[in-house]
Structures are given as structure tokens and as C-alpha cells.
Amino acid sequence: MTNKMAVLLGVFSLALTGCGTVKTVLQDDAQAARDLRKQKTYCQSIPRIYSGLAYDFCVLNAPPDPTGILAPFMLLDLTLSGVFDTVFLPYTIYRQSTEGNIRIYWRTGRG
């Protein structure tokens, strides 16, 4: 029974480190933008309100992962991001009204 709990805890902590909400709410904007640029996403910016879900959809809007490892985790991450984005909603509404969207690409086009 403890082995199952250890595996579950490991998967949960791995999912949290890749969670879109953690990357957009708890990290600075520059790091979130850098992470999305590494994914080669086509998104130009993401809103702060439900930013975790927007982050995940931007990852899905990037060239596909050739290993296929990312796909199963995205379903879990979308679910967790939806829950955490709802918890952080008052904070992200405030930040959206004061700071606007998180910019991924500062110029027009990619780069």
C-alpha cells in the first residue's frame, strides 16, 4: 500500500511542478513566457484570469511532443489548473485589471 502512495505522491508532485497555474501565478511573468517560448508555442500572450488553463492550451498549441510522454500528463494538468485557477481567481482578476495579459512574444511574429 505504501508503494502505491509513493507513486501517487510522485505523480502528483510532478504534475504540480508542470502545472500551468504554478508556472503563471507563482512564478514571475518572464519565466512563464520563457517556458512557453521553449515549447515553441504560437500564443502571443495569455490572460491572467485562468492563466493556468491558458498556459496549458498554449502548450497544446505548440509543435507536438515527439516522444508522446506529454499527452497523458496534459489531461491531469488541465484538471489541476482548472481547480487552482478557480482558487486564485480573486488574485488573478486583480492582476489582470492592473497589469493586463502575460506577454509571451514582445514583437510581432515569433522570436
In the block, cell 494538468 appears at 77
Give φ, ψ of 67 to 5 degrees. Answer: -80, -25
pTM (predicted TM-score): 0.77
pLDDT of the residue at 105: 84
CA-closest candidate to residue 32, choices 105, 96, 84: 105
CA distance 86 to 95: 14
pLDDT of the residue at 11: 54
> Which residues have a Cβ under 8 Å from the Cβ of 69 and sit 6 or more positions away?
none
| Every domain of the chain and the residues it spans | 21-103
Percent of the chain with pLDDT over 70: 78
Q: Using one digit for the tens of pLDDT, what is the confidence trace for 98-107?
A: 999 999 986 5
Task: Indicate the average pLDDT of the chain.
Answer: 83
CA distance 101 to 29: 10
The pLDDT-based confidence of 69 (bands split at 50, 70, 90) is: confident
Percent of the chain with pLDDT over 90: 56
